[in-house]
């Protein structure tokens, strides 16, 4: 099991880090009491769901219990089947003060210091000094944008950067309403319609006969190539902007022939590039005749 303990200064960006860890396939728990980490790890080890990548966030919100994190870390380090790492997220005092003033959020130690933000930050920094020293990874976020922080996390913990985004390719029929979940919608009603070929009418784009017919036309082949070029260009841009999912939809009149053909071929193409792909044909069974 890979266990990542995410800690650091309050306001430094730990929540954004945990969002990315969840997006890239880690089972994430935020603000877990340190005394429960070893018990939680045992639960994951014996889970039937084969949980082998876990990220837990701990910080001063745990109060006095936070001091137990070093003990938990030492105990887990002794386990042969667990690779435990510590990621420390930090920022300068000036930046942290500015962030708290901008967001108007209360520091977790504010009451302890009668609302004196600077004293709370200084105290927290002192309490975290030992964790800062043992950290396997250290990221200083003072001058990082949210997207830059996410990119650093993906680069650290993803074997393949393409794993950071899930692509959903769908088909639909305009006669039943356009897809509203889509990021990109391509209308393929401009292509010859198999519906008017008697032997193809009751088949769908999942069937080779329909797919072969749709792709037998030069305009279909050209359109597919241009769409592949566009997707090759766009997906890295979406990744760099921190998107964790993109939905690409193809629409035709009834959602059974041309749209499914293009959705199937595009899903195959995107998967061949190493991306995680889901397929969904919204209207494939509407008014279908046996």
Q: Which domains does the chain have, with CATH numbers?
A: 2-158 (3.40.50.300), 163-281 (no CATH)
Question: At 273, is the pLDDT very low, low, confident or very high (cuts 50, 70, 90)?
Answer: very high
- Asked if residue 56 has pLDDT above 60, the reply is yes
pLDDT at 64: 61
SS3 168: strand
* Cβ-proximal residues to 237 (8 Å cutoff; 6+ apart), any chain: none
Give the CA angle between residues 5, 6, 8 to the nearest 5°. 130
**What torsion, rounded to 10 degrees, do the Cα atoms 102, 107, 112, 118 define?**
-50
- Asked if residue 50 has pLDDT above 90, the reply is no
pLDDT at 122: 93
CB–CB of 165/243 below 8 Å? yes
pLDDT at 290: 43
Q: How many residues does the chain have?
A: 290
User: 246: closest CA among 178, 170, 176?
Assistant: 170
- Give the separation between CA 191 and CA 288, rounded to whole angstroms: 21
Backbone phi, then psi, for 257, in 5-degree steps? Answer: -115, -80
Give the range with max mean pLDDT: 31-45, 69-83, 194-208, 233-247.
194-208
pLDDT at 247: 93
Burial of residue 173 (CB within 10 Å: 0-12, 13-18, 19+) is: buried
Which H or E run includes 71? helix 69-77
Question: At 29, is the pLDDT very low, low, confident or very high (cuts 50, 70, 90)?
Answer: very high
Q: Give me the mean pLDDT over the 13-20 stretch.
A: 93
Greater confidence, 268 or 115?
A: 268
Question: At 65, is the pLDDT very low, low, confident or very high (cuts 50, 70, 90)?
Answer: low
Q: What is the pLDDT of residues 217-266, one digit of tens each?
A: 999 999 999 999 999 999 999 988 878 789 999 999 999 999 999 999 99
Q: Give me the mean pLDDT over the 182-208 stretch.
A: 96
- Which residue has 């899903």 as its token pair? 267
- Asked if residue 147 has pLDDT above 90, the reply is no
| Strand pairing class (166-173; 276-281) | parallel
- The dihedral sign for the CA sequence 4, 10, 13, 18: positive
- Give the separation between CA 225 and CA 227, rounded to whole angstroms: 5
- Asked if residue 160 has pLDDT above 90, the reply is no
Q: Give me the mean pLDDT over the 33-57 stretch.
A: 86
- Give the separation between CA 128 and CA 186, rounded to whole angstroms: 52
pTM: 0.68
pLDDT at 79: 85
DSSP letter (8 states) at residue 50: -
Percent of the chain residues topping a pLDDT of 70 = 97
- Give the separation between CA 45 and CA 39, rounded to whole angstroms: 10
pLDDT at 62: 65
Q: State the average pLDDT for the chain.
A: 90
């Amino acid at each position: 099991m890979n266990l990542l303990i995410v800690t650091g200064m309050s306001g430094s960006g730990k929540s954004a880090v945990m969002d990315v860890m969840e997006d890239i396939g880690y089972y994430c728990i935020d603000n877990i009491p340190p005394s429960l980490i070893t018990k939680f790890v045992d639960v994951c080890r014996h889970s039937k769901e084969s949980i082998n990548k876990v990220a837990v966030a701990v910080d001063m919100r745990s109060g006095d219990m936070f001091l137990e994190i070093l003990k938990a870390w030492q105990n887990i380090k002794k386990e042969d089947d667990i690779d435990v790492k510590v990621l420390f997220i930090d920022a300068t005092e000036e930046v942290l003060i500015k962030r708290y003033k901008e967001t108007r959020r209360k520091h977790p130690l504010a009451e302890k210091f009668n609302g004196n933000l600077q004293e709370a930050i200084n105290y927290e920094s002192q309490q975290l000094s030992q964790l800062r020293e043992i950290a396997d990874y250290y990221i200083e976020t003072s001058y990082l944008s949210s997207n830059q922080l996410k990119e650093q996390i993906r680069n650290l913990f993803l074997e393949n950067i393409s794993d950071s985004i899930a692509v959903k390719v769908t088909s639909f029929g305009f006669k039943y309403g356009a897809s509203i979940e889509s990021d990109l919608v391509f209308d393929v009603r401009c292509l010859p319609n198999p519906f008017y070929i008697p032997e193809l009418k009751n088949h769908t784009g999942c069937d080779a006969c329909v797919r072969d017919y749709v792709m037998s036309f030069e305009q279909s082949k050209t359109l597919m190539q241009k769409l592949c070029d566009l997707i090759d260009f766009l997906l890295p841009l979406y990744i760099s902007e921190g998107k964790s999912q993109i939905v690409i939809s193809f629409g035709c009149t009834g959602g059974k022939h041309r749209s499914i053909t293009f959705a199937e071929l595009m899903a195959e193409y995107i998967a061949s590039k190493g991306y995680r792909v889901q397929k969904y044909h919204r209207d494939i069974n509407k008014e279908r005749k046996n």
